[in-house]
Structure 1
């Protein structure tokens, strides 16, 4: 659509309103409805949006340790620039128009705390080097026959899964709840989040979806919108969907694997593919992998951002624990998939479904580009067999606190993302650790209540 056609659609839509959203540091969409007339007036200007978006956590509790905003600033409005290229129609809301926005400062420059702007920055670095990154994120998630009210009443314990038992790739289970699964596939695609595959995963009520690859910013938009859209469609069916990385110690975790490749500036040739190489991997791809291996400990909170993330990263649970790479090996951190000129790519398997896609994709791309820029050699031999037992290159940090301290003091992280972003982001992760440290858990009650 041209801008004129887009605005005509907005003006003529019978709802008389538009839905807008921005993304906070945790990847949660925060938004509002605007009258169509108000939206049209803002198209060439900016929307004022309270900067508490980056001043509180996902539970709306205000940080007491960040500089960006707080009681010391009075929580003013921050300018948001509407990105008309993100226009979509929400099919489960009568095709109401929808847009995403970017935070900017008063001079119109990128807001340093804005995740979408951070990805734009990394993308600009890639384009300056002559590369067009194509990415995709895939997700696993649990579905429950619950509502927010019933889940609260049950204290999030003993929830009823959508389907019982462990039944991955099940034709039976997809038939059992077909109305929901069909709506997911069809409505998401109509929403501009094209689904390439959707199936049950192993675990009660677990689904997995692969989103079609796209230029990296578009891919991140698709991933962010996927997570919220799934939850909204689930609500329509009396279902709750969760993208927690680990919901039970007895069940596999939920991944958010990132697939990636670099193409030439015209997006005609996949630069990861090399026909003459025995493994069909170019030197560029090898340097990209080397960069991620080198940088992973410095950027881990961006791809494992919560306390719960590290409950997934345990041995034998289909998630990596070691700094390893391999060819088509699902036990390593970085799974190379060299095949043909179109599909050769790298899959970063550390990433969980609980990530903020803008930060996860920015982290993967920046780390890979670090290896390319510094012409790193992939000296680490590809792992064959069990990657959990390959400790030759070290292991991943085992907790959010450990990972956050590494990133906070990392010259590499600051060079990749800027001092102010690293400071703000790591302070929000320290806050998350503090909230967890003072909580009394079910595990503690069961272990200590009677015995101590």
Structure 2
């Protein structure tokens, strides 16, 4: 039977209307009085509007307007000319439309919940500069190749005093039991995260003083990035409300460890539902798909560095002998390599990309690494040898870009990555980052003053 386009659209409208009705009923049943409509900006920070529950239906059906340039602000929230989202569109609005499946309670606020939104122009066209849109587009590319994507973002962050922004304690205390729960507010943070449906699996103190890592379970598809977005912004907000300060800044202290985002990823066969990275007939249990994926990430690693290390500060972390990679390398269970292959010889086989920083936008970490890996799979790339020693000890390996300037140059030279992520988004991203760099390079640092002012 042939269904007309008009009828198909009508059915879609009825389905959406029914979904909104169910959503409103769910809000009522759970007793929420306020709903936050949230969206990730270019940097992964939540931008939102708070809505009384009796106003939600109208916005759920029509969308909620917000300044379109919100996704084209730099890290200082400066308006960036030439990005395509400010003066070029007359500083107009676009619409936030909620993804109803992302409804999440905010237990540290009374009777309040949130939904993550996608963004659309008034014409109904999606906003292609949105980081969530780009992530979903890459997931669709994977689906076209026959894969779903399993992922987990593993963040480190500093828990600091609010007034001085200094650590709660000194020394190096990785996994130390006393430091792991040094103050009762840490336990409260964990409780709030679990109540907001973050499925925590481990918590521990990290290498540096007052640095922590809280891990949660993996997820398939956009829900993996949504969970990371919710986690990061929740940690910041909860810790602030407790009277402290949390930061995912990559290198807040020159003499202490940087904070990373180790990104775990595997591909699942959409038909069999089995892990496409696992091959029981291979010596190490690694499939051809995994090997091509890893080689794709290695080949395109210079070009994706701006997305996983998006600030000048990020590159201060990428030093030898710090468990943070400085060269383009891979190895089985190698913590010194850029890509650590977790060869469990079972359905848990996956890779861990160790180059991303704690400050990175989880949607862009997903999008860029997935884009690079899929290029490797699509082009049947052959995986290079891993070498006989840990990646950090091999002087013959090529180096990763050493600053954001060179990383952006590498992105501009990588036509395949730009094509995968989309011209509109890449233009937006590069324009904002070049704008930030201009401000960065024009700033006189404290080091310069201390070094030169007195003696010379």
Q: TM over 0.5, yes or no?
A: yes
Does the 8 A contact of 1:292 with 1:371 survive in 2? yes
In structure 1, distance between residues paired with 2:246 and 2:92:
33
In structure 1, distance between residues paired with 2:315 and 2:438:
16
Aligned counterpart, 2:170 = 164
Could you report, residue by residue, the CA deviation over 1:390-423 in whole angstroms, capped at 9, with x for unpaired residues? 2434111111011112212421122211111111
Does the 8 A contact of 1:216 with 1:361 survive in 2? no
Aligned counterpart, 2:407 = 403
Report the alpha carbon displacement of residue 2 of structure 1 after superposing the two structures with TM. Answer: 6.7
**Is 1:26 matched up with 2:43?**
yes
Does the 8 A contact of 1:245 with 1:254 survive in 2? yes
3-state DSSP of counterpart to 2:62 = coil
Alignment of 1:173-252 (within 5 A): 173-177=179-183, 179-252=184-257
In structure 1, distance between residues paired with 2:389 and 2:80:
44
| Structure 2: stretches of 5+ with no match in the other structure | 1-17
Alignment of 1:31-50 (within 5 A): 31-50=48-67
Report the alpha carbon displacement of residue 196 of structure 1 after superposing the two structures with TM. Answer: 1.4
Aligned counterpart, 1:54 = 71
Aligned counterpart, 1:79 = 95
**Is 1:6 matched up with 2:12?**
no
3-state DSSP of counterpart to 2:75 = coil
Among 141, 161, 181, the residue aligned to 2:157: 141
Aligned counterpart, 2:438 = 434
Could you report, residue by residue, the CA deviation over 1:353-394 in whole angstroms, capped at 9, with x for unpaired residues? 01000001111111111100000010x211443322324341
Report the alpha carbon displacement of residue 13 of structure 1 after superposing the two structures with TM. Answer: 6.2
Q: 1:266 to 1:186 in 2, by over 3 A?
A: farther
* Moved segments of 4+, more than 6 Å: none
**Is 1:129 matched up with 2:150?**
no
Does the 8 A contact of 1:316 with 1:388 survive in 2? yes
| Structure 1: stretches of 5+ with no match in the other structure | 152-158
In structure 1, distance between residues paired with 2:120 and 2:397:
40
Report the alpha carbon displacement of residue 54 of structure 1 after superposing the two structures with TM. Answer: 2.3
Does the 8 A contact of 1:407 with 1:422 survive in 2? no
Aligned length: 439
Among 263, 271, 277, the residue aligned to 2:268: 263
**Is 1:317 matched up with 2:348?**
no
Does the 8 A contact of 1:196 with 1:212 survive in 2? yes
Among 417, 420, 424, the residue aligned to 1:416: 420
Aligned counterpart, 2:107 = 91
In structure 2, distance between residues paired with 1:336 and 1:411:
27
In structure 1, distance between residues paired with 2:261 and 2:111:
28
Report the alpha carbon displacement of residue 67 of structure 1 after superposing the two structures with TM. Answer: 2.2
In structure 2, distance between residues paired with 1:79 and 1:303:
27
3-state DSSP of counterpart to 2:55 = helix
Q: 1:137 to 1:384 in 2, by over 3 A?
A: farther
3-state DSSP of counterpart to 1:44 = helix
Alignment RMSD, CA only?
Answer: 1.8
Does the 8 A contact of 1:310 with 1:399 survive in 2? yes
**TM-score with structure 2 length normalisation?**
0.92
In structure 2, distance between residues paired with 1:2 and 1:180:
38
**TM-score with structure 1 length normalisation?**
0.93
In structure 2, distance between residues paired with 1:344 and 1:14:
42
3-state DSSP of counterpart to 2:78 = coil
